[in-house]
Amino acid sequence: MKKHYTAQFQVVAEQALADAAKLPDNLVSIFPVNPQLSQVFQFIEANYNQPISLSDVAMAVGYCAAYLTDLVRRHTGHTVNDWIAVRRMVAARTLLLETDQCVSQIAQIVGYQHEGYFFRQFRQHHGITPQAWRKIQRS
């Protein structure tokens, strides 16, 4: 079930990226357009590269964490933490493709405090390690 959910969410995120590529630069976003959640997504976009949590997002937008979790899940089918991870994965993929920085540096740049957690998240979202993904994409 978990693998299916992750694969399904990756498809949603990839579709959002494909759709975003068709928009003008100032409107590009991986996040769904939803006026009720715009502050949530703006906060994630502005802070994904820092160690943020559901509580941080909830505090920033003035909701309790439980309510925000329910609200985001009802409107998007995914959690706040899912959206944070997707945004970080987009940034990580960009850095893997466009720089020669080591994976541990990239993990820190995109907001992961622990390299091991970044590796687990990357493998969960992509099915392979960051180094293997970079090698495949560059060949």
Question: What's the pLDDT tens digit per position in 54-95?
Answer: 999 999 999 999 999 999 999 999 999 999 999 999 999 999
CA 60, 77, 125, 95 dihedral sign is: negative
CATH fold of the domain at 31-138: Arc Repressor Mutant, subunit A (1.10.10)
- Mean pLDDT along residues 108-126: 95
**Rg for the chain (alpha carbons), in Å?**
15
Q: Which alpha helices (DSSP H) does 22-126 contain, by range?
A: 38-47, 54-61, 65-76, 80-98, 103-109, 115-126
DSSP assigned state of 79: -
Residues whose CB falls within 8 Å of the CB of residue 115, separated by 6 or more in sequence, listed in order: 103, 104, 107, 108
Look at residue 29 in the predicted model and tell me its pLDDT: 77
- Mean pLDDT along residues 108-113: 96
pLDDT digits (tens, 9 = 90+) for 21-64: 443 343 357 999 999 999 999 999 999 999 999 999 999 999 99
Model confidence at 122: pLDDT above 90: yes
Look at residue 14 in the predicted model and tell me its pLDDT: 52
Model confidence at 108: pLDDT above 70: yes
Residue 56 or 12, more confident: 56
Angle at 87 between CA 114 and CA 113, to 5 degrees: 15
CA distance 47 to 56: 10
- Mean pLDDT along residues 96-107: 96
Model confidence at 8: pLDDT above 70: no
Indicate the domain borders of the chain. Answer: 31-138
